[in-house]
Structure 1
Amino acid sequence: MSEPKAGLLRELHHGKLLVLPNAWDEQSAELVVHKGFPVVATSSAAVAAALGHEDGERAPWREMFAAVARIARVVPVPVTVDAEAGYGLEPDQLVAELLSAGAVGCNLEDTDHQAGGLVPAAAQADRLAGVRAAADAAGVPLVINARIDTFLPASGLSGSERADEAIRRGRLYRAAGADCVYPIGVSSAADLGKVVAGVGGPVNGNTGPELDLGTLASLGVARVSFGPRFYRAGLAAMRGSLDELRIAAGMEEPGAGR
């Protein structure tokens, strides 16, 4: 079943905007499918938090892939995984773990979680090429979404150099075999439009004050994802309900009287 699902996921990047509300467990994934979305994407931050860990490759990778496998078992649609920076796994092992878990796509980011900053662009392109070669060898057209972190504060970049570097990296990553690139953290329609035009291939966007779904579609964005937004919204709703319950029960403020 992996090959048809991978092919479908790739096709969905060419047409109307592919909307990916990110899931973190079986129930959230089933809800995404029940509401008619054609793909389940995971959020590493949400999955890690649900497992009791922080984001940024702080969760054991086996736990992360086990969570993905539980999701893939209960949904009939393609599953694409936020695989962070690949957890230090060699390309062939990374691809094997993804396919074993039932995934047919992945995000791979160019943040260097060990040294800080960004992985050199050429080195990241080589890694992506290795993942593509490993997927080809496995006979599955794994959909690779190469995340570009130039717009994040940790990149050390600012101003126009963020978009310029995103374009340079995007072209390298596409040439290396990435199906889509994801300049995460772009808040400006002008910046995102520049990247979409400069890369010349499928681009993953995120919503924001200047970037609603209509604007993203008009800019030529291929897909949009939401990261841990829905997971955090659920916690915020619970927090509000607990505050109401505490007041109704006549309880003191936490820590009062100590």
Structure 2
Amino acid sequence: MKNDELFHRLHSDGLLLLANCWDGGSARVAASAGAVALATSSAAVAWAHGYADGSHLPVELLLQTARGIGRVCGLPLTVDIEDGYGDDPVAVGALVRQLVEAGVVGVNIEDGNGSVELLCEKIAAARAAARAVDVHLYLNVRTDVYLRGLAPAGDRVAETLRRAALYRQAGASGLFVPGLAAEDEIAAVAQGAGLPLNVMALPSLPAPARLRELGVRRLSAGSAIGEATWSQVRRSVDEFLATGKVSPGALGYGAINALMVA
């Protein structure tokens, strides 16, 4: 089975857990831990290159990241393209085509504070670009209704479903709603969206088994693994500068190096 069809099938039943990575090394770690598919975190990719999150990363570095992950791992890969790195749907379609040609089978694209109508145009352009090279792209569309408080608390389910209907009509494969955490609201969105629901890991989120019962089909770590990694880097640097020593981690040189063997 081709990776694009496999990735779609992974959303059809059960709960797909995606431990977001940011380069070939982190992809190897995720694969070695048993991941069945890979996803990037836009924040973690940007930080790895010394850029802030928020569409600041040069597109060529995004493409290099996708190619680098593909070089070391054959698992289905989906890439976070934030808002598409621009407002021109034609340019978004061109970027998606380059990613697909690099082996990517899914993308995340988001509305943020932007226009719903413009995002629909970007979705349609991305879908057409993938179709032109015969790839069944998984277009996971993120709405920030909860994350950015784009509607009053009592209206967020309705606004999320309104956007979901428009995104589905434009060509979305899935709906990503970061910040969604209450069980009744998760169930309402899962039942009403008409798309597989993706939520983001939060301390207040129900356990994976319960999420599956509520109808969630995908759980993303988001930037959390990247945040934990950079936090540990800072602790280790602080320790070294203060003491001249670094406490060993759970994996030593040999174990880490073995993961990177081609």
TM-score of the pair, normalised by structure 2 = 0.86
Distance in 2, Cα, partners of 1:41 & 1:174:
21
**Deviation of residue 183 (structure 1)?**
1.1
Distance 1:75 1:81 in 2: 14
CA–CA separation in structure 1 for the residues paired with 2:233 and 2:189: 38
2:221 is matched with which residue? Answer: 226
Kept after mapping to 1: 8 A contact 2:93/2:122: no
Q: Is the 8 A contact 1:10 1:143 kept in 2?
A: yes
* Aligned-partner Cα distance in 1 for 2:95–2:244: 50
Q: What is the deviation of 1:166? A: 0.8
For residues 198-237 of structure 1, the aligned pairs below 5 Å read 198-208=192-202, 209-237=204-232
Task: Name the SS of the counterpart of 1:108 in structure 2.
Answer: strand
SS at match of 1:222: strand
Q: State percent identity of aligned pairs.
A: 36
| Aligned: 1:176 with 2:170 | yes
Using the alignment, how far apart are the partners of 2:73 and 2:154 within structure 1? Answer: 41
RMSD of equivalent CA atoms: 1.9
Q: Please point out which of 41, 44, 58 is paired with 1:60.
A: 58
* 1:26, distance to aligned residue in structure 2 (A): 0.6
Q: In 2, are the aligned partners of 1:26 and 1:71 still within 8 Å (CA)? A: yes
- Is residue 40 from structure 1 mapped to residue 46 from structure 2 by the alignment? no
**Superposition deviation, residue 224 in structure 1:** 0.8
Q: Distance in 1 between matches of 2:231 and 2:189?
A: 33
Q: How many residues align?
A: 241
Q: Could you tell me how far apart the structure 1 residues matched to 2:151 and 2:114 are?
A: 10
CA separation of 1:249/1:105 partners in 2, compared to 1, >3 Å: closer, same or farther? closer
Q: Structure 2: which amino acid aligns with 1:143?
A: Y
**Unmatched segments (≥5 aa) in structure 1:** 112-116, 251-258
Alignment pair present for 1:160 and 2:154: yes
C-alpha spacing 1:52/1:245, structure 2 compared with 1 (3 Å):
closer
CA distance in 1, matches of 2:197, 2:21: 20
User: Are 2:181 and 1:187 aligned?
Assistant: yes
Is 2:144–2:150's contact at 8 Å kept on the other side of the alignment? no
Distance 1:74 1:36 in 2: 15
Q: Give the direction of change, closer, same or farther, for the CA distance of 1:99–1:168 in structure 2 (3 Å limit).
A: same
Give, in angstroms, the shift of residue 192 of structure 1: 1.8
- Give the gaps of 5 or more residues in structure 2: 246-262
Indicate yes or no: 2:114 matched with 1:118: yes
Asked whether the 8 Å contact 1:23–1:32 carries over to 2, the reply is: yes
CA displacement 1:151-172 (0-9 Å, x = unmatched): 122x542212222111111122
Match of 1:109 in 2: 110
